Every structure is written in structure tokens, then in C-alpha cells.
Chain A
Amino acid sequence: MVMVPATTGLMGILPGHVSTIAELKPGVMSVHEGNDVTKYFVSSGFAFIHANSITDVVAVEAVPLDQIDQSLVQKGLAEFTAKLGSASTDLEKAEAQIGVDVHSALNAALTG
């Protein structure tokens, strides 16, 4: 089974899943093989679920969780939270909001 962070919520994909396309949000993708679970953080992307029990996951960045530096996540979260407070234009606000969202997701991935 593969769990992907779809924009609509966590989505579990088992063999024989109905074909669909899911947009991914920044979050943890976990690959379950028997009792083994491998977790990756994906920055964004798409999951293409085919009718023949094949799923393609496309992401700009996909990194194993142990490569993420918790202190940098905390620092970044504080930085972007401050930026969100001082942002004046819609674009600045959106960029700051993305920063807060991605760092929060990274933080949740490491602590959760």
C-alpha cells in the first residue's frame, strides 16, 4: 500500500484501486511493503493511479525523512511566520503562507 498526502486528505492506495489522478500537497508519502514502512517527504506533485494496480507518483522533491534537519525547519517556520505578518501584497502573503504551510508539514512529519 502507498499513502499519499492528497490535497483532499491522506489517501491510501491498495492494489486494484480505481484509476484516478490526485494532486499532492507538501507532506509524507509512506510506502508499505509487508511490515516495512518507508517514509518520504514530498514537496508537491501528483499521483496517477492506473486501473492495472500501477501508481506513478511525480514530485519535484521527495526526500527520506532522516535527511531533514529539525532545527532548520523550526528556524524557517519562525522566519515565514514573521514574513506572513509583515506581507503587504497578495503575492507576498501567498508566498509567506506557502512557507508557513511547507514548514508546518515538515515539522509535523518529524514530530508526528
Chain B
Amino acid sequence: MSATTGAVWRTAGMTYIGYSRLCASIVRSCLKEPYKSEAAEVEKVHYSRSKWTDGKQPKPTICEDDK
């Protein structure tokens, strides 16, 4: 990864997933109809997350963002 393009969002605490999702979301927002509505269908995502503790995976929590 080049230092010039990676640094800004990475040092601000964004993940690659967050960065690429934002880029894709912006591209989708600039589409003509009917492509825009079709692309909007894939916009909704959620994350299932659990922090490994005592050698086991606890019940995951569902969250809307990747922070």
C-alpha cells in the first residue's frame, strides 16, 4: 500500500472494509436510474462481532457499523 493513499483514512482509524464500502457507496450514489435503485439493494450490511475470551467465542453481537 502506498503511503500517500493509505495514510489519510488509515491514520483516521478507518478499516479497509470501511474505506472500500464508502468508495462503493459514493459510486452507487452517482448512478443513473434504474441502475441506482438496483445497486441500492446491496447497500444494507451488518456485522456480527464477538471478542475471543477464555479460549472461547462468546455469543456474537450484531452491529450496523464496523467501528
Instruction: Tell me if B's interface is mostly helix, strand, loop or mixed.
Output: helix
Nearest-CB distance from A109 to chain B (Å)?
10
A25-B5, A90-B13 known; A98-B19 Cβ under 8 A: yes
A67 touches B23 (CB 8 A): no
Flag if A44 contacts B20 (CB, 8 Å).
yes
Q: How many interface residues does A have (CB within 8 Å)? A: 29
Q: Which residue of B lies closest to A100 (CB)?
A: B26
Any chain A CB within 8 A of the CB of B27? yes
Q: Nearest B residue to A68 by beta-carbon distance? A: B30
4 other A-B residue contacts (CB within 8 Å) besides A43-B27, A91-B12, A103-B30: A7-B6, A60-B23, A61-B27, A69-B32
